A = this chain, B = another copy of it.
């Protein structure tokens, strides 16, 4: 097992994985002729990456740290370091997708303990690279070096046409509330594997799908671009904080209410199977803190009909003029949204 120093890893791993990146092809961002060219990427090994930009456009940029090696599923042996690298890139590109932007680059921060082998380091970088290729977002540099444990953070950049970025605010009463695909997979995977009470039927039929939500998460890049191109989407956010938190955030940011129709919420079979097996509320899994990276958005009903021609989507509710997010149950009763809210850890003072 070899453990090279940082300059050697830059020379051997980074330069090998990312060679010739700085001669990227010209990317035309929008129909107004704006362009973005990467002229110095990871292989340039300079203080910064450099893009040459031309024309009117909007630059979107966001950073996400991921717990990575602190993921319970990693600690339990269900995720590899490659998976963590892949996840890091997907989670960051998802924020670009949620703004309706074309990804243009990812900066990755990968710090590692002194005893991490070159092979493990390379597998992390390969996971990042493969996810970047899938999401058409080149890894343009970042930071590598030592730390007392593996630390993963990144920044993704994207561009869209002037006025084209999708914000969380802007939902209007009468709009429909939609998601790009069913949610709850990541949360169900976590509940199922943490419980350590295997069900042969779930293992056979659903486990691969459940695990894929952690191993190969999808950033909805094409969908985000289509939503922005439509020109009538009024708000958008990814569901990485869970569907409940996302819907509540869209309502709060837009100053509107949202009514979710229980009967319209898709309940994926693997999620239903886990809920049944563990005697959990299936909608609690669908709305809870499941990190699925779908896009939740709002648009007028006729725009939603038009979008259905271009992409998969599920209309799950509508925007109202009252000030909160609620669910209209199959029984006709209004309740708050099911599931755990995002990271609302209780104040620990005095404990």
State A46–B237 Cα separation when bound (angstroms).
8
State A27–B142 Cα separation when bound (angstroms).
26
State A70–B113 Cα separation when bound (angstroms).
13
Contact A345 B146 (CB under 8 A): yes
Residue A202 at the chain B interface, CB threshold 8 Å: no
Residue A63 contacts which of B59, B70, B142, B348 (CB distance < 8 angstroms)? B142
State A347–B115 Cα separation when bound (angstroms).
10
Q: Specify which chain B residues have a CB less than 8 angstroms from the CB of A7 in the assembled complex.
A: 342-344
Residue A165 at the chain B interface, CB threshold 8 Å: yes
Q: Specify which chain B residues have a CB less than 8 angstroms from the CB of A67 in the assembled complex.
A: 147
Residue from the set A49, A61, A65, A346 with the largest chain B CB neighbour count within 10 Å:
A61
Residue A3 contacts which of B3, B61, B147, B348 (CB distance < 8 angstroms)? B348
Residue A145 contacts which of B46, B109, B343 (CB distance < 8 angstroms)? B343
Contact B349 A105 (CB under 8 A): no
Residue A143 contacts which of B6, B54, B65, B162 (CB distance < 8 angstroms)? B65
A234 CB, min distance to chain B CBs, angstroms: 14
Residue A64 at the chain B interface, CB threshold 8 Å: yes
Residue on B nearest A4 in the bound complex, by CB? B347
State A162–B54 Cα separation when bound (angstroms).
9
Q: Specify which chain B residues have a CB less than 8 angstroms from the CB of A39 in the assembled complex.
A: 58, 165
A98-B143 contact given A40-B167, A153-B153, A342-B7, CB 8 Å threshold:
no
Q: How many copies of this chain does the complex contain?
A: 2
Contact A165 B3 (CB under 8 A): no
Contact A47 B237 (CB under 8 A): yes
Q: Specify which chain B residues have a CB less than 8 angstroms from the CB of A344 in the assembled complex.
A: 5, 7
A114-B345 contact given A47-B238, A56-B54, A62-B107, CB 8 Å threshold:
yes
Contact B47 A53 (CB under 8 A): no
Contact B165 A40 (CB under 8 A): yes
Q: Specify which chain B residues have a CB less than 8 angstroms from the CB of A107 in the assembled complex.
A: 61-63, 155
Contact A151 B151 (CB under 8 A): yes
Q: Which of A126-166 contact B (CB under 8 A)?
A: 140-143, 145-148, 151, 153-158, 162, 165
Given A2-B349, A40-B165, A62-B107, 9 additional A-B pairs, CB 8 A: A3-B349, A5-B344, A6-B343, A48-B62, A48-B101, A49-B60, A63-B141, A63-B155, A65-B109
What are some 21 contacts across the A-B interface (CB < 8 A)?
A: A3-B349, A6-B343, A6-B345, A39-B58, A40-B165, A46-B237, A47-B62, A48-B61, A48-B62, A48-B96, A49-B61, A49-B62, A51-B58, A51-B59, A52-B56, A52-B57, A62-B107, A63-B108, A63-B142, A63-B143, A64-B143
